[in-house]
Structure 1
């Protein structure tokens, strides 16, 4: 009998289908999509009170933990991946850690960080049932009761329900065409694959040993190291890249004979496209969903989102338009799954439209690119939160000129530490070790002019950093 329940939140995805809002450095799980808080925060909140906050662990990339998602992850238990290796390695490592850190065999509730569940009460009822079944050494998944012949999801076929409503899984089905999707909907024994799982740590590890033995061997090596004298996060950092790149569905769930399904009607969406966002949103009488700086006349069935510029629309129908300060997406409704093709093409170029926004979050605050690189210079607006400071660093290819426009900055240049007030400036030479910090109680805002033959963010050598980025 398991003695505790642990929440494992998978937050390592890229969310490329929600570009341009979702970017590589700040994907959709860390954004507010149709809610008052980020999708990660909403996922954690819906576990309360069945899983306590201290028993929740977030599996995410190292770059997220020290980059734009820092504020979303701060204060949470984290398992950091140095690179992407799909869901099976992440879950296997989490299972081993939950056993070794607790000294128990806990039930694990494994949830993606980027789904919407509208009905928390129904979700918790399903979760309670799944936890009960998992303690019988079953692998439990949530099967979403389908309401349409959806071709964007995988399906799960299950047998007739038992007295407790739980069904044995017969097989997993790849994303179907429309004819097969309709057939499965009419059959009534097929469910959408939600990617939400509940099982005991020991049971999933047993299945890993049975079906992915090469992963199990590496996992055992890692466990022997962190149960010795090595820190477990350092073990993951040094060994994770050797893990096979495989999903938990393909590696375990499609092959195991221990899989049960809890039918779930919980107001679920994987928010896998802008069409899905539109479907989940509140519409006006003409089927429009509008947010931000938008003016629409005689429009129908549109999704119009603006972060800055005015979107003015007249007489359009079945159109998705999403504006960010540096990019605009225009897409016909029903075609938004293809936004990933745009991102794939962007990756082939030299730009950073798929990587980051014009305003980039950092643990200490943010910076906004006001004038893009060109002719050897770049202009930024930098904001530093009270009590925060940048790393002690130097640059080999650029100088920096800071003009403070709000607050009071403390600037370290070599051995000199000076206070720079509003309308005063500081100059940083090439190679000079320097730091910017805010010792005051209001944000520091400054304009930074960079001049040099290379202006990339990787021209930073860090010597000391309070956020662990050295």
Structure 2
């Protein structure tokens, strides 16, 4: 993949990944964990946008994770050109604005990627990026629509409009997370894609769109970067200025309002790994449908057990005669729930925080 102007990967690493508790915690969120390979999710994200045609990444992260992020990227030879450390989380639109400013605010194409997604077919991903690039150079804002295989109610959807050029379409509309019947209808119609939260656009095109649709956000981000503290590659935006930025997603702040917005539908083995059920779905399974994984000191013993996900990083877990369970042990915490209900982990954490705020 070679481009006249190198693409700047922008990796968003500010999330806490609470839905994968107890492995994922605020101190060690899921993007810092090795969940699907030897490498961590952050490392895999950096590796899929490295080499010919790509510049060194710009990473936007929680200041608490600065050392972790740097160490993990250096370990896979993907050191960041800039590590922007947010003093407070303000959602994706301001985070991307900080990155666009750090990239110089000019014609550089920015490939914006969450740090905790799975893309199994990297070649298909690169082909989609190549297809989008001519429009991006011309000032379009492009998103990548994930080929849907289920009537998901937990994702936003994109209605795919008329084709502009090879494989690139206008966005007809963005659809909020739909009720089940609407998701089934969109899946059956075949003209919708999941909104995977991956974007490609010029830095100046994004900042110009933000100037039109949320000038207060842009002003706060510019002020925060003008007054930022620099330590090597680390950038610490001014805390007071950044806190004044409205908290909003790129979808709401820009993509749903801008004029020239396109989508590249792509099938690339994508998962947002947003739950333990999602991890089971993409894991290598044994003959009984089980996914086992252990960290240092962990052990799993299973007899007459089927269709379970079991992970331990220190305890021995023994299971007999059960099926369709998720069992995860980390430190002194153990999570047990039926498969299909892992989205309820967030409610569980809320209850635990209310009774003993140490989560």
Q: Which structure shows the bigger proportion of residues in strand conformation? A: 1
CA drift at 1:222: 4.2
List runs of 5+ in structure 1 lacking aligned partners: 355-470
Whether contact under 8 Å (1:80, 1:233) holds in the other structure is: yes
Give the alignment's TM-score, normalised by structure 1.
Answer: 0.70
Matched, 1:94 2:85: no
- 1:40 is aligned to 42
Whether contact under 8 Å (2:45, 2:117) holds in the other structure is: yes
- 1:196 is aligned to 198
> Equivalents in 1 of 2:53, 2:278: separation in Å?
28
Whether contact under 8 Å (1:122, 1:266) holds in the other structure is: yes
> Equivalents in 2 of 1:135, 1:172: separation in Å?
23
- 2:58 is aligned to 57
> Equivalents in 1 of 2:237, 2:337: separation in Å?
44
> Equivalents in 2 of 1:224, 1:302: separation in Å?
51
> Equivalents in 1 of 2:236, 2:165: separation in Å?
47
Name the CA shift for 1:189/1:300 in 2 (closer, same or farther; >3 Å): same
Name the CA shift for 1:211/1:80 in 2 (closer, same or farther; >3 Å): same
Name the CA shift for 1:237/1:224 in 2 (closer, same or farther; >3 Å): closer
- 1:244 is aligned to 246
Matched, 1:269 2:274: no
Deviations 1:430-469 (A, max 9, x none): xxxxxxxxxxxxxxxxxxxxxxxxxxxxxxxxxxxxxxxx
Matched, 1:106 2:112: no
Whether contact under 8 Å (1:301, 1:319) holds in the other structure is: yes
Stretch moving more, 177-186 or 332-341: 177-186
Whether contact under 8 Å (1:140, 1:199) holds in the other structure is: yes
Q: Which structure shows the bigger proportion of residues in helix conformation? A: 2
Q: Secondary structure at the match of 2:292?
A: strand
Q: Which has the higher contact order (CA 8 A, sep 6+)?
A: 2
Name the CA shift for 1:220/1:81 in 2 (closer, same or farther; >3 Å): closer
CA drift at 1:238: 4.4
Stretch moving more, 215-224 or 271-280: 215-224
Q: Secondary structure at the match of 2:98?
A: helix
**What does 1:207-246 align with in structure 2 at a 5 Å threshold?**
207-222=209-224, 225=227, 233-246=235-248
**What does 1:148-167 align with in structure 2 at a 5 Å threshold?**
148-167=150-169
Whether contact under 8 Å (1:295, 1:313) holds in the other structure is: yes
Whether contact under 8 Å (2:225, 2:238) holds in the other structure is: no
Which residue of 318, 322, 338 corresponds with 2:324? 318
CA drift at 1:71: 2.6
> Equivalents in 1 of 2:240, 2:42: separation in Å?
27
Whether contact under 8 Å (1:226, 1:232) holds in the other structure is: no
Runs in 1 of length 4+ with deviation above 4 angstroms?
Answer: 222-227
Which residue of 73, 77, 85 corresponds with 1:80? 85
Matched, 1:333 2:339: yes
CA drift at 1:106: 0.5
- 2:185 is aligned to 183
Whether contact under 8 Å (2:19, 2:275) holds in the other structure is: yes
> Equivalents in 1 of 2:167, 2:97: separation in Å?
28
